[in-house]
Every structure is written in C-alpha cells, then in structure tokens.
Structure 1
Amino acid sequence: MSSPSAFNKSWTRCAQAGLISGSMAQKNLKIFEKIIL
C-alpha cells in the first residue's frame, strides 16, 4: 500500500489534469459551434 500523502499527490495531479482537459474541451466545443453555426 502506498502512503496516503503519495496517494493524495497523485489524485490531485489527476484532478488537475482532468480540470485542464475539461476546460480545453469546452473551448474546443465553442470553436466547433462557431464553425458549424
């Protein structure tokens, strides 16, 4: 078992990556909407 601190660090990295990819997806969706509409 890994230590809780290491688990929290890896979890925060995953959460930050998810937030960044989520914001990028929203920006791409807006661009696609402009192109389609």
Structure 2
Amino acid sequence: MDNENPGRRFYTCPLVYFNWVDPPMCQRSKMIIPGLLK
C-alpha cells in the first residue's frame, strides 16, 4: 500500500518491477481513503 494508491494491491518481483491489480482510483478517493485507514 502507498499514499498515492491507498488500499490498492500490486504485484512485485525481486527485480523491482510491479504491476497494479486494481483499476485507477479517482482523485476524491485518493483524498478520502487515507483518512479512513488511520
């Protein structure tokens, strides 16, 4: 999880490659969700 994509999942590998699993979030969701996760 990171602040740009709160609650979103992504795949990683040892080569530091990652790929988002979830569709992009709207700007409002990016503002609201971090507060809900605290």
TM over 0.5: no
Q: Which has the higher strand share?
A: 2
User: What's the TM-score once normalised by structure 2's chain length?
Assistant: 0.28
Q: Which has the higher helix share?
A: 1
User: What's the TM-score once normalised by structure 1's chain length?
Assistant: 0.28
* Greater RCO structure (CA 8 Å; 6+ sep): 2
